[in-house]
Amino acid sequence: MSQAGDLSQASTYHSYVADPHGLTAYAERCFEWMAVKQYSPNTVRTRREYLGYFIDWCYQRAVIRPQHVTKPILERYQKHLHHHRKKNGDPLSANSQHTRMVPVK
């Protein structure tokens, strides 16, 4: 399946799609909704990529269901983005941090 909302296209996703109540399955439904609402393919692709980073970060911390994502979890992820370094060692710009948070909200 190679649709605009297909999270399996993102290389960083874990294989938690089988859980119909997990973050990945929930995200799949969100991206399907975006496709129905005629979001541009580029917007869907970018949001899928950035949400994939968040989902991977969550799975590494045993946060696997949407109801486990709390305000403190979101604050920790935002702090993670603040401390994250690009390949060249530079921090993410404030705009990049914001852009990565948009699909999470």
Residue 15 domain boundaries: 7-101
How far apart, in whole angstroms, are the C-alpha atoms of residue 66 and residue 45? 21
Domain annotation covers residue 71: yes
Domain annotation covers residue 2: no
Domain annotation covers residue 28: yes
* Residue (of 17, 13, 46, 42) closest to 29 by Cα position: 17
Find out whether 9 and 46 touch, Cβ atoms under 8 Å: no
How far apart, in whole angstroms, are the C-alpha atoms of residue 56 and residue 50? 10
Domain annotation covers residue 15: yes
pLDDT band at 78 (very low <50, low <70, confident <90, very high): very high
Domain annotation covers residue 17: yes
- Higher per-residue confidence, 15 vs 23: 23
Domain annotation covers residue 1: no
What is the predicted pLDDT for the residue at 1? 36
* 75 pLDDT higher than 50: yes
* 3-class SS letters over 5-21: CCHHHCCCCCCCCCCCC
Domain annotation covers residue 74: yes
Report pLDDT digits (tens) over 4-14: 434 444 444 54
Domain annotation covers residue 88: yes
Task: Say which amino acid occupies 78.
Answer: Q
The total number of structural domains in the chain stands at: 1
What letter does residue 1 receive in the DSSP assignment? -
